[in-house]
Structure 1
């Protein structure tokens, strides 16, 4: 396992299935309607059960760069934080700012819930097309800065990465942060 220890928290990188993580909150790479879909979003909806879709409908959607929470229902996690990342359109439409905001807002929501451990996927790197290396850099810089700036309750952030290419990009970004 790759990890970075900060003063009050740590960041871990693992390869695996985010739906199986035993953490207080998992972050869902959601669409703006919070309607479920493919990839991580579909996997989380299937694992959490039909109650998740109903709870998401009641939230009434979420704009890109923001995040909203529901219970975890049938997941091991108490909560699901639905973060909406940007659709990548070449990089000149403010995508980096929106992606960073999705990570920050997810951590804000986690802290409001009192979550001590949070698992993230690589937001926007699947169907939304964000280049993985750049997304990894933004994710790790944003999360580490947020953890340095906030005292508790979040003390563990785990990036749960689905494939080897994504894990490698995150490991390289983590190594850059250490320098």
Structure 2
């Protein structure tokens, strides 16, 4: 049985086998969660990401966690810029981020997600939370024998935590 939970805190310090990075298409670092993960992991992460050749929206790729002692793996996924897509297409692409990240985490026992696309990429937090919870639940149903025991949505603020908890309660 896999538990889906919400936690308020810093994803770079959250204890999970895999943490997810809300990356930009280059995978070479940026602002928000992406910048925080790159700073915490150290320069080895940048070198590893250079070898990945970037990623498309909805895609996920993985690296070691390097300087992030609480994780073994970083999964880098590129969320949609909300205003660049029709709402239905943006939701499909965002759901792909969660599904592909979960696929890469198979074999691990825990994974932690930030709120993908809700910062600079402009995805409305409530809608993004609904997509995240829906995609994760759908993936869990399709993978009943997954190795993952805990899937955590890590909120950076109390407001984000409330939005995620509301989505989880629906």
TM bin (shorter chain): over 0.9
- For residues 7-63 of structure 1, give each alpha carbon's deviation from its aligned partner in whole angstroms, at most 9, with x where no partner exists: x10011010000001110000000011010111000000000000000000000000
Distance 1:139 1:90 in 2: 19
- For residues 69-106 of structure 1, give each alpha carbon's deviation from its aligned partner in whole angstroms, at most 9, with x where no partner exists: 00000112000000110001175161110000010000
Ranges of 4+ aligned residues in structure 1 off by more than 3 Å = none
Which shifted more, 88-97 or 20-29?
A: 88-97
Match of 1:173 in 2: 167
Q: Does 1:154 align with 2:148?
A: yes
Q: Does 1:80 align with 2:78?
A: no
Q: Does 1:107 align with 2:102?
A: yes
Which shifted more, 117-126 or 92-101?
A: 92-101
Distance 2:38 2:100 in 1: 21
Q: TM-score, normalization: structure 2?
A: 0.95
1:44 partner SS: helix
Aligned residues: 167
2:162 partner SS: helix
- Listed as ranges, the matches of 1:117-136 within 5 Å are 117-136=110-129
Distance 1:148 1:115 in 2: 17
Q: Does 1:63 align with 2:28?
A: no
Unaligned 5+ segments in structure 2 are: none
2:163 partner SS: helix
Which shifted more, 148-157 or 48-57?
A: 148-157
Q: TM-score, normalization: structure 1?
A: 0.91
Q: 2:132 aligns with which of 136, 139, 155?
A: 139
